[in-house]
Amino acid sequence: MGTTFRSLGVPNYRLFTIGQLVKLVGVWMMFTAQDWLVLELSGDSPAALGMVTALQFVPVMVLTLWSGRLADRYDKRKLLIGANAAFALFAIIFAIIVAAGVVELWHVFVSALFLGIANAVETPVRQSFVSELVELHLLPNALALSAATFNVARISGPALAGVLLALLNTPAVFLISTVLAIAPVFTYVRMRPADLYRTERKNRGNAKVIDGLRYVGKRRDLLLPICMMAVIGMIGFNFPVTLAALAKIDFNAGPSTFGLLTTALAIGSLGGALAGTRRSSRPGPYLIIGAALLFGLFEIAVGFAPNFVVAALLLVPTGFFSIYLAQGCNHRVQMGVAPEFRGRVMALYVLVFLGTTPIGASLSGWWGEHFGVSSSIWAAGLVSFLAAIGALIWELKASGDRIRVRLRPRPRVSLISPASAGPVPAAPVLADPDLSAAVLTDPVLADVPLSAAGIPRMRVTDRTGVKV
C-alpha cells in the first residue's frame, strides 16, 4: 500500500484525481438514471438503450483523431477546462428538461449526442495529459490510479443513483449529478502550470493526424494492443447496454437492484485497476493477451448465469480482467510512444476502444431485441476470446516464440523464445533502476530510439544480443 498511492504526492495530480472522482460519480449517477429513463420512455426496448449508448460515442468515432491533433498542438490543461465546461452546460440543460417533466425519448437522444461531443474532445486530451502531471517513473502508477478513480466512481455512482431513484425521483438524480459534473473545471484552474512536466517540441503547429497513423503503422508493439482493443472494445465492453436490459427484462429487477449489477462489475474493475498500481515498467504482450483470454471466458459465463446472484458474482472477476486488460494495453501504448506523438496515438487508442461503441452498442441492442439479452452477453464474450486467440497467434508468429505444454510430471505451460535457444547474454546493467526493462528487452523496439519511449538515449545490449 506504500507504493499504491505515491502519485497522489504530486499536487497537480492530486487536484486532477479529486476533480475526476467528483465528476465521474455524477456522470455514473447520470448514466444510471438515463438508462432507466430510456427503458421507461421506450417500453423496455433494448434497441432504444443501444441507440442512446451509440449516440454518446458517435462523436468519439468522428472527432477523436482531431482531438488528438489538438492535444499535440495546444495547451492540454486549457483544452480540458473548455471541454469540461461544455459537458457541464449540456448536462445542466438536460437536467432542467427532465425536472420540468417534459422529457421525451428524442430529448435523451439529443442530450446523449451533445454530451458525447464534449467527451470526444476531453477523453484523448485527458489521457495524454496524465504524462504531464507526473514524472515518467510514476506514469504507470498515475494511469492505474486514474483507472481506480474511474471505478470507485463506477461503484459509488450507480449505487447512489439506485438509492436516490428509490427515495427521490429521476429529476432529482439528474440535478444532483449535474452539480457534481462541474468539479473538474475548478480543479484544472487551480493547477500550477509551472509544475507540469511538459516537453518542448518544435513544429508543434505541423502536427498532422496522418503522421500519427503512420507512426503507429511502423510499430508492431503498438499495433497489437490497439487492434485487439478495437475488437474487444467494440463487442465485449457493452455493459451499459446489456446490464440494464439484463436486470429489468431477464431478472425483473428494480432500479436499485440494477445498480447492484453495475456495482459488482465495478468492484472487480477497481481490483483490476489497483492491481496495476505497482507496475513500474511497460507490460509485455503476453500479459495483456492473457487478461483478454480470461475476460472473454468470464463474460461468456455471465451470459449463461441462471439468476441475478450468480450473474453479480461472475461480474466481479469479469470487471477485474476488463480493467486489467484495458489498463495493460493503455500502459503498453503510453510507455512506448514518443512524447510528440502521444496525443495522436492516444486519440487512436481512444477511437478504437470507445469510438467503436456505436457499432457495438447498436449491434448488442439489436441482438438482445431478437435473440435475448443473455445471448448478447455470451456472444460478446466469445468474440473477445477469439480476438485474444488471434492476437496470441499474431504475436507468436511475429516474434518466433513457441508455447510448450507439458502434462507430466505435472501440467505446465511455458513460453519458449528464440533468445532462449542458445547461450543467453548477460542482462544489461541499467544506470537508472527506474528505466523500463521491458522496453530494453523487447525485440520489437530494437530499431527504435529509447527516447521514443520517453527514456534518455543510451547504448545497451538486450537479452537477444542486439545493441539498441
Tell me the chain's radius of gyration from C-alpha atoms.
Answer: 22
404 beta partners: 414
| pLDDT score of 318 | 92
CA distance 121 to 126: 9
Residue 11, preceding peptide bond in cis (omega within 30° of 0):
no
pLDDT tens digits, 126-177: 888 888 888 877 887 887 788 778 767 766 777 777 778 777 777 888 888 8
Average pLDDT over residues 194-209: 66
pLDDT tens digits, 302-340: 989 888 889 889 999 998 998 889 888 888 887 778 777
Angle between helices 342-350 and 105-133 (to 10 degrees): 150
Instruction: For residue 224, give the C-alpha cell.
Output: 497489437
Distance of CA 142 to the CA centre of its chain: 14
Average pLDDT over residues 2-26: 86
| pLDDT score of 204 | 53
| pLDDT score of 206 | 60
More confident residue, 362 or 264: 264
CA distance 12 to 21: 14
Whether residue 445 has pLDDT greater than 70: no
Mean pLDDT computed over every residue of the chain: 78
- Structural contact between residues 336 and 453, judged by C-beta atoms closer than 8 angstroms: yes
Whether residue 104 has pLDDT greater than 70: yes
- Cβ partners under 8 Å of residue 422, min gap 6: none
Domains and CATH numbers, the chain: 6-194+209-399 (1.20.1250.20), 419-453 (no CATH)
